[in-house]
């Protein structure tokens, strides 16, 4: 735990949100075996674990970290419970605790990303009951049935810039693009996707401009305004032709933008030489490997809708910050010695977050769970509630 980022959580205190060494906090012994500080301005005691996933955790931190790693590596709730030898309901509680922490960390770090290329795709899953058996289940909950994970992927960093969970409809596509706008800077990425019509409308919703068509003649009403693409918006389709389930041909169509600008973007790209969605499709495979709820033909499927999104926050934070990506590694100029007589290390491990400049080192699981997001950022979250809704309160269910 880091003393430097600890702050007074009392909003009525004049030193609210100030880091430890800039405020009026002093170390003040222990309470229930945990270190704490005292705010000399308002007299409030603050546990060192405040603002982290360990706050009010009644378990050994090492056991908690093992359970989180097991969940992030693709184990189910019951499988994790058997690994760490605790009750499944406790694992559910710990998943909620870790997911809320990972959500805050990602929302804090994923800001002003300079994404030059973005591939869009959607990943199928289901909640409680598959769509073809839904007639009776819908009486219990309208969220049952097909659930689609919408992904916006930045291939140059192997980074999921944004995601959302919903139905395969226009509202979910619009939400995905709104989240892309929120986490990126003013630069408009080059977008590619399959032929799903919702993406075209969503891109106009996020990056379009209102245009008033010229009136034809002198009689009748003026034409209604319509959305047209921004001059800098580039968007292309990847069209796959299939025969008996196999891809037999691939063609590409430019939907928005200038062909010359497209060729220039592809020439400058460090990842793509042609219009494609191969990187986001490979990311879909990674998500299925690291998230039991997305694995095909499994008993670990999601029974309640919010838990699918919570598992995604955990697995994506773990993937971006903790797991080095083999395609991003950098060769060391001078191999580094290792323990014993093993071969010297020739490669520096790099995570997607490191490639994007969000951090300068590979995080440990403990570092992810103990990262304390600054109070000024937490105070801004209600302003983006319409884009990133708060998770629902915890209740037992998976």
Task: Tell which residue, 119, 115, 235, has the closest CA to residue 185.
Answer: 115
pLDDT at 393: 73
Interhelix angle for 88-109 vs 61-72, to 10°? 80
Residue 64: CB atoms within 10 A of its CB come to: 23
Taking the model in full, what pTM does it have? 0.91
Q: How far apart are CA 310 and CA 103, in angstroms?
A: 8
The domain limits of the chain are 1-50, 51-211+224-331+351-384
For the stretch 226-275, pLDDT in tens is: 889 999 999 999 988 888 878 888 888 999 999 999 999 999 988 888 99
Per-residue pLDDT of the chain (398 residues; tens, 9 = 90+): 789 999 999 999 999 999 998 989 999 988 878 899 999 999 999 999 999 999 999 999 999 999 999 999 999 999 999 999 999 999 999 999 999 999 999 999 999 999 999 999 999 998 888 877 676 655 556 778 889 999 999 999 999 999 999 999 999 999 999 999 999 999 999 999 999 999 999 999 999 998 888 877 777 777 788 889 999 999 999 988 888 878 888 888 999 999 999 999 999 988 888 999 999 999 999 999 988 889 888 888 888 888 999 999 999 999 999 999 999 999 888 888 877 777 888 889 999 999 999 999 999 999 999 999 999 999 999 999 999 998 877 665 55
Which helix (H) or strand (E) covers residue 25, if one does?
A: strand 25-31
Q: What local confidence, expressed as pLDDT, does residue 138 receive?
A: 59
State both tokens at 217. Answer: 């003649």
Q: What is the CA radius of gyration of the chain?
A: 24
> Does residue 80 contact residue 70 with C-beta atoms inside 8 Å?
yes
- Helices marked H in 184-257: 197-207
Would you state the pLDDT for residue 217? 75
Paired residues of 46 in beta bridges: 37
Q: pLDDT value at position 250?
A: 87
In the numeric block, which tokens belong to residue 100? 């809320």
Site of tokens 């491990």: 349
| 3-class SS of residue 216 | coil
Residue 318, pLDDT score? 97
Among 80, 105, 106, 79, residue whose Cα is nearest residue 94: 80
pLDDT for the residue 344? 84
pLDDT at 394: 64
CB burial class (10 A; 0-12, 13-18, 19+) of residue 141? middle
CB 121 within 8 A of CB 151: yes
Q: How far is CA 110 from CA 107, 188, 255, in A?
A: 5, 16, 28
Determine the Cα–Cα distance for residues 162 and 165; give it in Å rounded to an integer.
11
């Amino acid at each position: 735990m880091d003393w430097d980022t600890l702050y007074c959580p009392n909003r009525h205190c004049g030193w609210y949100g100030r880091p430890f060494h800039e405020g009026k906090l002093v170390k003040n012994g222990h309470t229930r075996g945990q270190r704490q500080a005292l705010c000399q301005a308002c007299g409030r005691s603050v546990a060192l674990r405040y603002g982290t996933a360990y706050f009010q955790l009644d378990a050994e931190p090492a056991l908690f970290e093992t359970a989180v790693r097991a969940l992030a590596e693709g184990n189910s709730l019951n499988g994790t419970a058997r690994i760490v030898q605790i009750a499944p309901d406790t694992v559910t509680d710990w998943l909620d605790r870790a997911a809320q922490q990972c959500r805050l960390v990602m929302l804090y770090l994923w800001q002003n990303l300079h994404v030059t290329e973005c591939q869009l795709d959607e990943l199928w899953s289901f909640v409680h009951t598959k769509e073809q058996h839904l007639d009776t289940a819908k009486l219990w909950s309208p969220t049952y049935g097909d659930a689609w994970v919408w992904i916006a992927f930045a291939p140059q960093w192997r980074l999921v810039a944004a995601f959302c969970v919903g139905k395969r409809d226009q509202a979910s596509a619009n939400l995905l693009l709104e989240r892309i706008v929120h986490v990126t800077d003013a630069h408009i990425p080059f977008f590619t996707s399959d032929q799903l019509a919702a993406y075209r409308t969503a891109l106009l919703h996020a990056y379009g401009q209102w245009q008033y068509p010229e009136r034809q003649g002198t009689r009748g009403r003026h034409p209604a305004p319509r959305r047209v693409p921004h001059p800098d918006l580039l968007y292309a389709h990847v069209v796959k032709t299939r025969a008996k389930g196999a891809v037999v041909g691939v063609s590409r169509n430019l939907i928005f933008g200038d062909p010359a600008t497209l060729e220039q973007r592809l020439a400058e790209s460090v990842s793509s030489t042609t219009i494609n969605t191969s990187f986001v499709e490979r990311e879909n495979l990674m998500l299925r490997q690291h998230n039991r709820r997305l694995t095909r033909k499994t008993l670990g499927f999601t029974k309640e809708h919010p838990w699918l999104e919570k598992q995604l926050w955990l697995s994506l934070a773990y993937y971006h910050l903790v797991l080095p990506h083999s395609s991003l590694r950098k060769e060391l100029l001078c191999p580094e010695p290792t323990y014993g007589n093993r071969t010297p290390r020739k490669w520096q491990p790099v995570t997607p977050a490191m490639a994007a400049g969000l951090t300068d080192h590979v995080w440990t699981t403990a570092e992810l769970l103990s990262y304390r997001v600054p109070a000024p950022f937490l105070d801004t979250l209600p302003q983006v509630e319409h884009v990133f809704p708060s998770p629902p309160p915890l209740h037992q269910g998976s």
